[in-house]
């Protein structure tokens, strides 16, 4: 017999996925311990689990997966082939429909670009305190994307409005926002995307205490600190409207001691996902402002058992990065619903924060 952990490692399905497919009646364990609830599988079920994993990656509905596995175990290859061909036809039709919708969306975007005034066309000269800008860049740099398919997310957004400069970075799975006060700007809102290497070069200049000069001239941006300068061309892209992605205040809040919490994350339980997926830390906000790390499962080291409700899972490496970027001995973790982002805020400056997208525990 194979444990659920063995099945997860051998099939490419996560433990949570195996639990889900058990409850859905798709891949039912051969035996469940009546005392502990621990699931055990027959050796022959490993092949079915591998087939299931492929069908899942191909997006086949659960009802059809159940029929495919029934045909597979019964050697009914004709049924299996017909189900596979029918799903492939649905995928091809869906792709055709999606292409049509995306063509219409591109036409709408082209129209918007023609009628909207670009926020990147202005000329700006302003000053900002070096420590404030350094802290803002340190807050966000870790969240910038390295995906070549999304070059607009590979830089840091400088969003200037009134007497504030917001710097923002996101890779879709996490977002960070920093803030610095500016002087000398009395115009409208101006946005530029500073490439990652240029943002790093700017950060290297910010080792003093006095003000530095930030200049934007069309598609070029420069930072002057004394007789030193970092300058270059901005990314010619539009950054997502990050203000629409900001977390809504509310929910449960927990004040954590960063050093102790970091140690708990590094040494505590993790949930291992599918092959190649990142390790997850499962958090639960307790009454009284405490955060606990949930074990992967209550029934054994391999993580079986359905565990607690109201848990939130996040990429552990991303959370550790956010704690480091927070640069405080204490930070506030703000929890909403299990499907809502987690916000990591500074107690003394809640305008600088990180947001982590949760990872679904169940399929």
CATH topology of domain 247-356: DNA Polymerase III; Chain A, domain 2 (3.10.150)
Q: Which phi and psi angles does 61 have, rounded to 5°?
A: -60, 150
Q: What percent of the chain is modeled with pLDDT above 90?
A: 45
Cβ(69)–Cβ(22) below 8 Å: no
Residue found under tokens 């909403």: 336
Asked whether the whole model's pTM tops 0.85, one would answer no
CB 361 within 8 A of CB 148: no
Question: Would the CATH topology of 123-244 be identical to that of 247-356?
Answer: yes
What is the third-level CATH fold of 2-87? Multidrug-efflux Transporter Regulator; Chain: A; Domain 2 (1.10.1660)
In terms of Cα–Cα distance, which of 179, 182, 181 is closest to 352?
179
Q: What is the pLDDT of residue 301?
A: 41
Separation CA 276–CA 85 (nearest Å): 29
Mean pLDDT of 107-114: 68
**CA–CA distance from 182 to each of 22, 163, 165, 191 (Å)?**
57, 5, 6, 14
User: What pLDDT sits at residue 297?
Assistant: 47
Q: Residue 330: its pLDDT value, please?
A: 93
Structure tokens at 76: 């009914």
**H or E segment at 6?**
helix 4-11
pLDDT of residue 174 exceeding 90: yes
- Relative to beta strand 330-335, strand 312-315 is unpaired
Q: What is the pLDDT of residues 301-322, one digit of tens each?
A: 444 544 455 678 899 999 999 9
* pLDDT of the residue at 128: 95
Q: What is the pLDDT of residue 299?
A: 40
Q: Measured in Å, how far apart are the chain's first and last C-alpha atoms?
A: 25
How wide is the angle at C-alpha 45 spanned by C-alphas 39 and 82, nearest 5°?
130
Q: Among positive and negative, which fits the CA dihedral 123, 349, 244, 239?
A: positive
Specify the 3-state DSSP secondary structure of 284: strand
Buried-exposed string 151-169: b where 16+ CB fall within 10 A, e elsewhere: eebbbbbbbbeeeebbbbb
Rounded-to-integer distance, Cα 44 and Cα 311, Å:
33
Structure-model confidence comparison of residues 26 and 272, the more confident one: 26
Spatial separation of the C-alpha atoms in residues 183 and 301, rounded to whole Å: 57
Query: Bridge-partner residues for 160, per DSSP?
Result: 165, 190
Mean pLDDT, the chain, rounded, equals 86
For residue 336, what is the DSSP state?
-
**What is d(CA 327, CA 354) in angstroms, rounded to the nearest whole number?**
12
Q: What is 123-244's CATH number?
A: 3.10.150.10
Whether the predicted pLDDT of 212 surpasses 60: yes
Mean pLDDT of the 44-59 span: 91
Each domain of the chain, given as residue ranges in start order, spans 2-87, 123-244, 247-356
- In whole angstroms, how far apart are CA 100 and each of 86, 93, 94, 97, 104? 21, 11, 10, 5, 6
Across the range 86-95, mean pLDDT stands at 92
Highest mean pLDDT among 159-173, 234-248, 271-285: 159-173
Q: Residue 240 burial by CB count (10 A; 0-12/13-18/19+): exposed, middle or buried?
A: middle
Buried b (16+ CB within 10 A) or exposed e, 248-281: eeeebebebebeebeebbeeebbbbbbeeeeebb
d(CA 346, CA 331): 5
Q: Is-contact 324 346, C-beta < 8 A?
A: no
Tokens at 17, concatenated: 């996925």
Helix axes 62-73, 77-115, angle to 10 degrees: 150
> Is residue 194 a contact partner of residue 222, using CB atoms and an 8 Å limit?
no
């Amino acid at each position: 017999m194979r444990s659920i952990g063995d099945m997860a490692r051998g099939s490419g399905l996560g433990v949570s996925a195996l639990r889900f497919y058990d409850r859905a009646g798709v891949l039912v364990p051969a035996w469940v311990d009546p005392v502990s609830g621990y699931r055990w599988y027959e050796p022959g079920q490993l092949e079915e689990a591998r087939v299931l994993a492929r069908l899942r990656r191909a997006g086949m509905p659960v009802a059809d997966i159940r029929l495919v596995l029934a045909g597979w175990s019964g050697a009914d290859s004709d049924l299996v082939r017909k189900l596979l061909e029918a799903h492939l036809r649905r995928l091809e039709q869906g792709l055709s429909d999606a292409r049509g919708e995306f063509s219409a969306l591109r036409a709408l975007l082209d129209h918007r670009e023609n009628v909207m005034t670009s926020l990147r066309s202005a000329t700006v000269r302003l000053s900002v305190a070096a420590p404030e800008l350094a802290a803002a860049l340190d807050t966000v740099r870790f969240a910038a994307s390295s995906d070549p398919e999304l070059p607009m997310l590979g830089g840091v957004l400088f969003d200037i409005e009134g007497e504030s400069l917001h710097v923002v970075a996101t890779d879709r799975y996490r977002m960070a926002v920093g803030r610095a006060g500016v002087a000398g700007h009395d115009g409208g809102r101006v946005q530029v995307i500073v490439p990652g290497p240029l943002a790093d070069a700017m950060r290297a200049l910010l080792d003093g205490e006095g003000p530095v000069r930030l200049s934007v001239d069309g598609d070029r941006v420069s930072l002057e600190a004394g007789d030193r300068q970092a300058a270059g061309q901005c990314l010619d892209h539009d950054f997502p409207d990050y203000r629409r992605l900001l977390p809504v205040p509310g929910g449960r809040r927990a004040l954590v001691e960063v050093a102790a919490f970091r140690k708990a994350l590094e040494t505590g339980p993790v949930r291992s996902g599918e092959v190649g997926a990142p390790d997850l830390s499962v958090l639960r906000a307790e009454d009284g402002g405490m955060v606990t790390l949930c074990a992967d499962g209550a029934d054994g080291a391999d993580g079986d058992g359905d565990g607690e409700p109201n848990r939130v899972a996040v990429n552990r490496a991303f959370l550790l990065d956010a704690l480091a970027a927070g640069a405080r001995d204490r930070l506030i973790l703000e929890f909403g619903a299990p499907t809502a982002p987690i916000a990591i805020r500074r107690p003394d400056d809640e305008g600088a924060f990180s947001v982590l997208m949760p990872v679904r525990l169940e399929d």
